[in-house]
Structure 1
Amino acid sequence: MNEAPVGVFDSGVGGLSVLREIRQLLPTESLLYVADSGFVPYGEKPPELICQRSRAIAEFLLAQGAKALVLACNTATAAAVADLRAHFPVPIIGMEPAVKPATLATRSGVVGVLATTGTLRSARFAALLDRFAGSVKVVTQPCPGLVECVERGELSGPQVNALLARYTQPLLEAGCDTLILGCTHYPFLRPALRQLLPSHVHLVDTGAAVARQLRARLAELDALAQGPAQPTRLWSSGDATALERVLPLLWEGNATAESLSV
Structure 2
Amino acid sequence: MSDRPVGVFDSGIGGFSVLNALQAELPNERFVYFADTAHAPYGERGDDYVAARTRAVTRHLVDAHDIKAMVVACNTATAAAIHLLRVDHAALPLVGVEPALKPAVAISRTRRIAVLATRGTLASAKFNALLASLAAQADFSLVPCDGLAAAIEANDAAGIASLCARYAAAAGTFGIAAGKVDTLVLGCTHYPFVAEQLRASTGAEVHYIDTGAPVAQQTRRLLAASQQLAVSATRQEDTADATGTTRDRTRTTLLLTSGHSSQLDAAASRWLLRSAAPAAVFSAAAMAAA
TM-score by length of 1: 0.95
CA contact (8 A) 2:116 2:143 kept: yes
In 2: Cα distance, 1:134 partner to 1:240 partner: 46
Q: Which of 272, 283, 287 is the aligned partner of 1:251?
A: 272
> Structure 1: which amino acid aligns with 2:84?
D
In 1: Cα distance, 2:283 partner to 2:232 partner: 30
User: Does residue 193 of structure 1 match 2:198?
Assistant: yes
Q: How many residues align?
A: 260
User: Does residue 242 of structure 1 match 2:263?
Assistant: yes
In 2: Cα distance, 1:15 partner to 1:50 partner: 16
The CA deviation at 1:73 is 0.4
The CA deviation at 1:145 is 1.3
> Structure 2: which amino acid aligns with 1:131?
S
User: Does residue 146 of structure 1 match 2:148?
Assistant: yes
Q: Which of 209, 229, 252 is the aligned partner of 1:224?
A: 229
In 2: Cα distance, 1:58 partner to 1:170 partner: 36
Structure 2 residue matching 1:62: 3-state secondary structure: helix
Q: Which runs of 5+ in 2 are unaligned?
A: 174-178, 235-248, 285-290
In 2: Cα distance, 1:240 partner to 1:203 partner: 31
User: Does residue 126 of structure 1 match 2:131?
Assistant: no
The CA deviation at 1:191 is 1.7
Work out the percentage of aligned pairs sharing the same amino acid: 42
Structure 2 residue matching 1:82: 3-state secondary structure: helix
The CA deviation at 1:175 is 2.4
Q: Which runs of 5+ in 1 are unaligned?
A: none
CA contact (8 A) 1:112 1:180 kept: yes
CA contact (8 A) 1:34 1:234 kept: yes
Structure 1 residue matching 2:196: 3-state secondary structure: helix
In 2: Cα distance, 1:132 partner to 1:217 partner: 26
In 2: Cα distance, 1:133 partner to 1:83 partner: 27
Structure 1 vs Structure 2 CA RMSD: 1.3
In 1: Cα distance, 2:11 partner to 2:113 partner: 26
What is the aligned partner in structure 2 of residue 108 from structure 1?
110
In 2: Cα distance, 1:22 partner to 1:43 partner: 23
Structure 2 residue matching 1:224: 3-state secondary structure: coil
In 2: Cα distance, 1:221 partner to 1:17 partner: 25
In 2: Cα distance, 1:189 partner to 1:52 partner: 29
The CA deviation at 1:161 is 1.6
Structure 2 residue matching 1:119: 3-state secondary structure: helix
Structure 1 residue matching 2:172: 3-state secondary structure: helix
In 1: Cα distance, 2:152 partner to 2:198 partner: 13
In 1: Cα distance, 2:214 partner to 2:188 partner: 14
What is the aligned partner in structure 2 of residue 261 from structure 1?
283
> Structure 2: which amino acid aligns with 1:98?
A
> Structure 2: which amino acid aligns with 1:94?
G
The CA deviation at 1:261 is 1.6
The CA deviation at 1:242 is 1.4
**Which structure has the bigger radius of gyration?**
2
What is the aligned partner in structure 2 of residue 56 from structure 1?
56
Superposed structure 1 runs of 4+ greater than 4 Å apart: none
> Structure 1: which amino acid aligns with 2:12?
G
Q: Please say which of residues 9-18 and 131-140 is displaced more in the overlay.
A: 131-140
In 1: Cα distance, 2:274 partner to 2:130 partner: 36
Q: Residue by residue, what CA displacement relative to the aligned partner does 1:222-253 show, whole Å, maximum 9, x if unpaired? A: 11012313421001101111111222111134
CA contact (8 A) 2:185 2:209 kept: yes
> Structure 2: which amino acid aligns with 1:179?
L
Q: Residue by residue, what CA displacement relative to the aligned partner does 1:187-211 show, whole Å, maximum 9, x if unpaired? A: 1111222233222211100111000
TM-score by length of 2: 0.86
The CA deviation at 1:61 is 0.7
The CA deviation at 1:81 is 0.1
Structure 1 residue matching 2:130: 3-state secondary structure: helix
Structure 1 residue matching 2:53: 3-state secondary structure: helix
> Structure 2: which amino acid aligns with 1:28?
N
